[in-house]
Amino acid sequence: MKLVYPVCVYPGDVSGYTVIVPDLPGCVTEGKDIVDAMEQAIDAASGWILDELQDGKPVPPVSDIESVKADEYKGGFVSVVILDIDSYAEKYGNKAVRKNCTIPAWLNTAAENAHLNFSQILQNALQEQLNLN
């Protein structure tokens, strides 16, 4: 699913940019330059949408870009971000991914006899190996 949301972009007082996605309450981010700010906006908005979908909520409707106004007094302007939710979900979502692995038969028997959860052990080991604990 690809979505296009309007955003309001504001230059910082000293440097960088702040980006607000009006259709996604609380979705605000910033970047050190315009490119970084827009990349951060895509990431923030994609994460916001993915969280809603994983909670069983609908995707918020997109405002017509003509109706979105940035505060020009603060140097703001309106642009858009293009979100590829399927790609984002594949990379960052909580959807389970099936992995096959091979272990010695004796180890499999011992683990099954101990009623161990292979998936949980693999997740824990990967998180530890990647210093994600």
Four-CA torsion 67, 75, 2, 96, nearest 10 degrees:
-120
- Segments forming the whole domain that contains residue 129: 96-133
How many Cβ atoms sit within 10 Å of the Cβ of residue 43? 15
Q: Which stretch of DSSP H or E encloses residue 48?
A: helix 34-54
Residues 86 and 109 in one domain: no
Measured between alpha carbons, how far is 17 from 32 in angstroms, rounded to an integer? 6
User: Using one digit for the tens of pLDDT, what is the confidence trace for 32-70?
Assistant: 999 999 999 999 999 999 988 888 899 999 999 889 988
For residue 9, give the CATH number of its domain: 3.30.160.250
User: pTM above the 0.75 mark?
Assistant: no
Residues 73 and 110 in one domain: no
Residues 71 and 113 in one domain: no
Residues 17 and 70 in one domain: yes
- The total of structural domains in the chain comes to 2
Residues 22 and 44 in one domain: yes
Residues 20 and 83 in one domain: yes
* Least confident window among 20-24, 26-30, 92-96, 109-113: 92-96
